[in-house]
Each structure stands twice: as structure tokens, then as C-alpha cells.
Amino acid sequence: MPYDHITNGFSNGYTNGNSELHVVDLRSDTISKPTQAMREAMAIAPVGDDVYGEDPTVNLLIQKSCQLFGKEDGILVPSGTMANMIARGPAQLAGVQQALVRNKNDGTFCLDEMCSRIRIDPDCHEPYTALIVVENTHNMCGGKVLPLEWLDKLGNIAKSHGIAVHMDGARIMNAAVASKVELSRIVRDMDSVCFCLSKSLGAPIGSVLLGTKAFIERAKRVRKVLGGGMRQAGIMAAAGIVALDSMMDQLRIDHEHLRQIAEAIHNMNSKIFKVDLQADTNILMIYLDNRKVTADKFLQRLYDVYPNDPIKVRIRASTRDNSCIRFVFYWEITDEDVQMAIKKLEYVIREFETKTSV
């Protein structure tokens, strides 16, 4: 950590004279750690061999997930990447080609453009279209919830062409909580859906892929091909069950935290920094005028604490590109963290405004 020397030589007013500075780490929800309840559940979880279908804790997690999503069956895999790979198989694994349709800012894409890319009875030089993939919430669009009417239209188009739809629902729980729509309704027209236990839900490992019994039968073969059949996977499923049973309310708090920070930045009326006020889940994009300040420079200043700074807080975040930084909220970010982060943001933004106006 190249900036640690900055912590030397003065005390931090927030933590009982401890010289460590308070850090608000908003880089990603993947850094969220398992809760105490999860750790305890993992320690005592009854387990068996999941490759034999004999792990009772995995089976319970799948049963709960199927109920929530209204799907027939599911499998537990180590990561979201693997769940998506199993569901669609990228080029290097399965000879599958992808046709990308450009996103709009709200996470949707133009359905007419999608239709123009569908190849139903193509020339022998072209692959035929077998699958449409959507992402909900949409990460790089700032955690946007895909509108239900749009999903319904997409579902109808896919059905009329006999094409399957897969939802990359890494953060679909955030979508359900923000839109107050049941998971089973959101994925009604989806042939398969996966969600991450390890992001905003806080579990340490794992993603669940859901679909029909026949689909999951095939998925288990592909999981083997990918090298990922796990044995006593109930250890990780146990944390997932705690996540499903007790972390949904926390997501509402995460969304509220995001709103407080978004509004604080918006209310500054900065000419340099604009916040995405449409953000309504746990991902906030902050856009900046990179002729005045680059994303890297802003990020660095949010992290640095100079000896004369009145606000002794470091904020960690990630950059999307040189004119956008991203905050992601999760259960370990507290009310106090949010208040401190707002003070720091207000201080730093005001400083840049003053510097660049002369």
C-alpha cells in the first residue's frame, strides 16, 4: 500500500486515539465478508457428497432458491463466471459466438436491434441464434433494474422465435428488493438464471444456477467438464442459506446508504462531479469532467489524508474509465461510514471546485 506513510504522525479522531485511519471501502460488494451467523452455520452444516446429490445443506439451498425463483432445479457452483459459462458457454469453450447489442443507460438495449441480430434460418456461413443473455441488475450501467415491461417484451420475442433466455442475475436480489417485484415474476420468462451468493448477499463463495430439471441435468455435466464438481459443498451452501434467510433486508439498507451519498453529491451542484440520481440499488456511478480532474486523481484524493485535512477518512472506490468512478454498497458499510464518506466527499469536491475555478 504505497500511501500508508500518510497515516503516520497524527491521530485519528474517530477511533479512540488509534492511529489507523477510518477506511470506507466502496470498491465492490465482492469484498463483503461473511457474517458471524454465516460462519457459525458453516461450522455446523450437515454435509454429504454433492456430486452424488447427497449434501443436505446444498439440497436445502437449491430447494429454497427454486421456491424463490419459481424454477424446477438448480446447481451450486463456485462463481458467477462459472454459472454463466455453464448456461451459455463462451467461444473458447463451446464454439459459441456472441453478438453484442449495445446497452442503453438504463441497462436495457434496443429490442429492434436485437431482432435484427437474431439469425433464425441463417446462411451456412453464419451461426444460428440459440440464446439471449440479459444482466439484472446491470453492473456497468450503475446497478440498474431492468424494467419488467421490457423483460416481458423480450420474453415474447424470444418465445416467438424459440430462443432461450438466460439472466445473469449476479445482483438480482437487489433488483427484487428495489422494484418490490417477486423474484419468480422477474424471471418468469427466463429459461435459466444465476445469482451470486458472494456479492451483496455477503456469503464467501458461490453462485446458484437455476432452470428446468433437464437443463440442470445437462448443467451438471458441464460443471464436471469445467472441473468444478464439489464434494462437501454444504459448507458454502450453509452461508448461502443464511444469506437468503437474513440478508434481504440488509439490501434495502444498502440502497438507502447509496441514496444518501447520491443526494449529498447532487446537492453540491458541482460543475465537475455529477452523480447518477437514477441509481436505485447498490451501485453508484460518479461522473466527472476529466478535463478538470481525472478519475484516478479523484480516487487518489478520496484515499489520501493530508496532515491539514479536517476529515480523517479514506474512501476506497474503483474506476470504470477516466471519467467515472464506482461505489458499491454492502452490509459492512454502516450509517457512520456513510456519514463520514459524505463529509470527505464534500470536502474533496469543494477542494477541486476551488482549485479548478482559478
Return residues touching ligand PLP (CB under 6 A). 79-81, 84, 135, 139, 168, 170, 196, 198, 207
- Least distance from C-beta 200 to ligand PLP, angstroms? 10
Smaller CB separation from ligand PLP, 80 or 142: 80
Q: Tell me which DSSP letter residue 145 carries.
A: P
Between 177 and 293, name the residue whose CB sits nearer to ligand PLP. 177
Cβ-contact 298, 289 below 8 angstroms: no
Degrees, nearest 5: CA angle 339-341-2: 150
CB of 135 to ligand PLP, least distance (A): 5
- Nearer to ligand PLP by Cβ, of 135 and 337: the residue is 135
Alpha helices in the chain (DSSP H): 36-44, 56-69, 80-88, 91-94, 111-117, 148-161, 172-179, 183-186, 213-225, 234-246, 248-266, 295-303, 335-357
Give how far Cα 356 sits from Cα of 283, 288, 301, Å: 28, 13, 15
Measured from the CB atom, the residue of 165 and 348 that comes closer to ligand PLP is: 165
Query: Whole-number minimum distance, CB 82 to ligand PLP, in Å?
Result: 7
Least Å from the CB of residue 177 to ligand PLP: 16
* Burial environment of residue 283 by CB neighbours within 10 A (0 to 12, 13 to 18, 19 or more): buried
* Element (DSSP H or E) covering residue 77: strand 73-77
Cell of 343: 463529509
Pairing of strands 283-288, 273-275: antiparallel
Minimum gap (Å) between residue 186 Cβ and ligand PLP: 15
Closest residue by beta carbon to ligand PLP: 80
How many C-beta neighbours within 10 Å does residue 32 have? 24
Q: How far is the CB of 198 from ligand PLP (least distance, A)?
A: 6
In the complex with ligand PLP, the residue whose CB is nearer, 172 or 305, is 172
Q: How far is the CB of 197 from ligand PLP (least distance, A)?
A: 9
**Strands 207-211, 73-77: parallel, antiparallel or unpaired by DSSP?**
antiparallel
Least distance CB 80 / ligand PLP (angstroms): 2
The smaller minimum CB distance to ligand PLP, of residues 133 and 299, is found at 133
Q: How many residues does the structure list for the chain?
A: 358
Q: Which is nearer to ligand PLP, 22 or 88 (CB)?
A: 88
Nearer CB in complex with ligand PLP: 6/226: 226
Strand arrangement, sheet containing 283-288: 273-275, 283-288, 324-328, 318-321
CB 278 within 8 A of CB 304: no
